[in-house]
């Protein structure tokens, strides 16, 4: 995920008008978002490394996440900070026990928790795009299980379809819209047919298209300035 901070105003009157200016240093919402956005990367890396049984990369990603944990907890509301600490403790335990599937799943759970707490008012890329990124990562974790949980897979695919439906009308690039529509349909068909190779392929398409979608919104934001 390459989500970047959007724009907030320095003056209240400009903020109310919806005009865009760079995030001001010292803006609490902007700083909190930057902390949370940056903190997603180690969990992406850890999920991938755990599934690949790459011990060195897993250790490096976990060390980074732990090093950032105090700042991340401070950037979250109290209840979410407590849940973050609980999940992180479970993640450390799973990683130390070499439970790669649980490590990967907890990593994507923490990834989702951080996204859920992004402040949308200071994002240039809609939160739904980051959630579509989460869908791809979670499906890769779920389809790697010895006994895939098809109910969990179906729920994740349904979430992805809802998030895309909530943002697709903001995308004017018809080719990009068609590609994501086809990917969502591919995920649904793969899930209905319990077709793991197709599911994995469609989940990868989702991840690849999220990169294009992020670029689309970043370009749109830049053009509006």
The domain ranges of the chain are 1-124, 127-225
Q: Of the ranges 26-35, 163-172, 212-221, which one carries the lowest mean pLDDT score?
A: 26-35
Residue 214 and residue 225: Cα distance in Å, rounded?
17
Residue 34 and residue 32: Cα distance in Å, rounded?
5
CB burial of residue 53 (10 Å; 0-12, 13-18, 19+): exposed
Quote the percentage of the chain above a pLDDT of 70: 87
- Indicate whether 115 pLDDT > 50: yes
Residue 163 and residue 19: Cα distance in Å, rounded?
26
Average pLDDT over every residue of 66-88: 97
């Amino acid at each position: 995920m390459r989500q970047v901070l959007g724009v907030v105003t320095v003056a209240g009157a400009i903020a109310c008008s919806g005009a865009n200016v760079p995030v001001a240093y010292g803006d609490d919402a902007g700083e909190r978002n930057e902390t949370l956005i940056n903190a997603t990367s180690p969990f992406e890396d850890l999920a991938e490394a755990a599934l690949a049984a790459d011990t060195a990369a897993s250790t490096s990603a976990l060390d980074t996440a732990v090093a950032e944990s105090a700042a991340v907890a401070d950037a979250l509301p109290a209840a979410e900070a407590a849940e973050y600490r609980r999940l992180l403790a479970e993640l450390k335990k799973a990683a130390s026990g070499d439970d790669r599937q649980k490590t990967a799943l907890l990593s994507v759970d923490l990834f989702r928790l951080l996204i859920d707490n992004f402040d949308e008012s200071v994002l240039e890329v809609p939160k739904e795009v980051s959630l579509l990124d989460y869908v791809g990562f979670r499906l890769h974790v779920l389809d790697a299980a010895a006994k895939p949980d098809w109910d969990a897979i179906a729920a994740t695919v349904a979430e992805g379809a809802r998030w895309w439906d909530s943002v697709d009308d903001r995308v004017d690039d018809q080719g990009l819209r068609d590609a994501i529509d086809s990917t969502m349909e591919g995920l649904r068909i793969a899930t209905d047919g319990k077709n793991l190779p197709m599911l994995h392929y469609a989940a990868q398409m989702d991840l690849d298209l999220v990169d294009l979608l992020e670029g689309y919104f970043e370009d749109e934001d830049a053009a509006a300035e």
